């Protein structure tokens, strides 16, 4: 993901992405968002919902609940948390499912292609 999109997510959702610039000994978020820009809106919308749920938690629980890793695996989005509620888990699963039909490059409707590795792409980006 482009640096400016990464920075926007971290600035807008500071509780969720509080470990974004922590060391690799502390979190996998140090590697950033491991995918292209096409899933930005999916991640943004999910992050907005998760941030709101984090803020509803008791103060002592908030610090334990943040993104641990956001990446692509087997062609789809994976979003891991350090701690989460059942409601958060449902939202994460929905976003991951949405990524199966969203081009990772541009965000247009796409499908999963197994071409040596798994990749979700629209008609325009499938050849890349």
pLDDT digits (tens, 9 = 90+) for 6-49: 899 999 999 999 989 888 888 888 788 777 899 999 999 999 99
Number of folded domains that form the chain: 1
Residue 109 domain-assigned (yes or no): no
Mean of pLDDT values over 72-95? 94
Residue 114 domain-assigned (yes or no): no
Q: What pLDDT is attached to residue 128?
A: 67
Strand residue runs (E) in 19-110: 33-34, 67-73, 76-81
Residue 89 domain-assigned (yes or no): yes
Q: What pLDDT is attached to residue 8?
A: 95
Residue 116 domain-assigned (yes or no): no
Residue 121 domain-assigned (yes or no): no
46: containing domain? 3-101
**pLDDT classification of 5: cutoffs 50, 70, 90:** very high
- pTM score of the predicted model: 0.91
Q: Is the pLDDT of residue 83 over 90?
A: yes
Residue 18 domain-assigned (yes or no): yes
Residue 120 domain-assigned (yes or no): no
Residue 117 domain-assigned (yes or no): no
CA–CA distance, 16 with 84 (Å, rounded to integer): 11
Q: Can you say whether residue 32 is alpha, beta or left, with left for phi > 0 and alpha for psi between -120 and 50 degrees?
A: left
Strand residue runs (E) in 25-66: 33-34
């Amino acid at each position: 993901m482009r640096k400016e999109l990464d920075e926007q997510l971290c600035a807008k959702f500071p509780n969720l992405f509080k470990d974004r610039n922590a060391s690799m000994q502390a979190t996998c978020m140090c590697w950033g968002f491991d995918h292209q820009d096409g899933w930005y809106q999916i991640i943004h919308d999910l992050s907005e919902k998760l941030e709101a749920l984090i803020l509803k938690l008791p103060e002592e629980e908030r610090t334990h609940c943040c993104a641990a890793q956001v990446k692509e695996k087997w062609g789809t989005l994976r979003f891991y948390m350090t701690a989460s509620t059942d409601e958060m888990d449902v939202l994460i699963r929905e976003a991951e499912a949405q990524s199966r039909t969203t081009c990772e490059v541009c965000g247009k409707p796409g499908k999963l292609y197994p071409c040596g590795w798994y990749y979700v792409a629209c008609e325009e980006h499938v050849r890349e």
